Chains A and B, each alone.
Chain A
Amino acid sequence: MTTTLRQPPVAAKTPAAPVPHRSAARRRSTPLTIAMLAALAYFLLPLCWLLIASTKSTQDLFDSFGLWFSHAPQLLTNIKATFTQDDGVFVHWLLNTVLYAVVSALGAALLAAAAGYGFAKFRFRGDRFAFNLVLGAIMVPATALAIPTYLLFAKVALVNTPWAIILPSLVNPFGLYLMRVYAADAVPDSLLEAARIDGAGEARIFFRIALRLLAPGLVTVLLFTLVATWNNYFLPLIMLNDPNLYPVTVGLSSWAAQAQNGGAGASSDMLPLVVTGSLISIVPLVIAFLVLQRYWQSGLATGSVKQ
Chain B
Amino acid sequence: MAAVRSRSAGPLFVAPFLILFLLLFLAPLGYAAYLSLFQQRLVGGTVFVGLDNYVTALGDPLLLHGVGRVALFFLLQVPLMLLLALAFALALDSGLLRLARVIRLGIFVPYAVPSVVAALMWGYLYGPDFGPFAQLGRTLDLPAPDFLSGGWMLGSLSNIVTWEFVGYNMIILYAALRTIPHDLYEAAAMDGAGAWRIARSIKLPALRPALLLTLLFSVIGSFQLFNEPKLLMAIAPDVISSSYTANLYAYSLAFTGDQLNYAATVSFLLGLVIVIASYAVLLTANRRRSA
Judging by beta carbons under 8 Å apart, are A144 and B3 in contact? Answer: no
A142 CB to nearest B CB, Å: 7
Judging by beta carbons under 8 Å apart, are A301 and B178 in contact? Answer: yes
A238 CB to nearest B CB, Å: 7
Judging by beta carbons under 8 Å apart, are A7 and B209 in contact? Answer: yes
Closest to B35 in A: A151
B106 CB to nearest A CB, Å: 5
Judging by beta carbons under 8 Å apart, are A115 and B14 in contact? Answer: yes
A98 CB to nearest B CB, Å: 14
Q: B223: CB under 8 A from chain A?
A: yes
Given contacts A33-B98, A141-B224, contact A43 B31 (CB under 8 A): no
Given contacts A67-B132, A111-B17, A139-B275, contact A44 B116 (CB under 8 A): no
A269 CB to nearest B CB, Å: 15
Q: A219: CB under 8 A from chain B?
A: no
A46 CB to nearest B CB, Å: 6
B270 CB to nearest A CB, Å: 5
Neighbouring B residues of A33 by C-beta, 8 Å? 96-99
Give the interface SS of chain B, mostly helix, strand, loop or mixed.
helix
Task: Please tell me the size bucket of the interface on B.
Answer: 35 or more
A32 CB to nearest B CB, Å: 5
Judging by beta carbons under 8 Å apart, are B24 and A66 in contact? Answer: no
Given contacts A122-B13, A139-B220, A274-B120, contact A301 B176 (CB under 8 A): yes
Judging by beta carbons under 8 Å apart, are B135 and A66 in contact? Answer: yes
Alpha-carbon distance A197/B289, docked complex (angstroms)? 46
Q: B286: CB under 8 A from chain A?
A: yes
Closest to B122 in A: A46
Alpha-carbon distance A92/B231, docked complex (angstroms)? 22
Alpha-carbon distance A301/B170, docked complex (angstroms)? 11
Judging by beta carbons under 8 Å apart, are B117 and A122 in contact? Answer: no
Given contacts A120-B1, A171-B25, contact A47 B234 (CB under 8 A): no
Neighbouring B residues of A137 by C-beta, 8 Å? 21, 25
Q: A295: CB under 8 A from chain B?
A: no
Alpha-carbon distance A94/B93, docked complex (angstroms)? 38
Q: B199: CB under 8 A from chain A?
A: no
Judging by beta carbons under 8 Å apart, are B103 and A40 in contact? Answer: yes
* Most chain A CB atoms below 10 A, which of B2, B185, B234: B234
Judging by beta carbons under 8 Å apart, are A112 and B17 in contact? Answer: yes
Q: B282: CB under 8 A from chain A?
A: yes
Given contacts A148-B267, A256-B120, A281-B114, contact A119 B14 (CB under 8 A): yes
Judging by beta carbons under 8 Å apart, are B274 and A151 in contact? Answer: no
Alpha-carbon distance A278/B114, docked complex (angstroms)? 9
Within 8 A of B (CB), among A269-306: 274-275, 278, 281-282, 285-286, 288-290, 293, 297-298, 300-301, 303-305
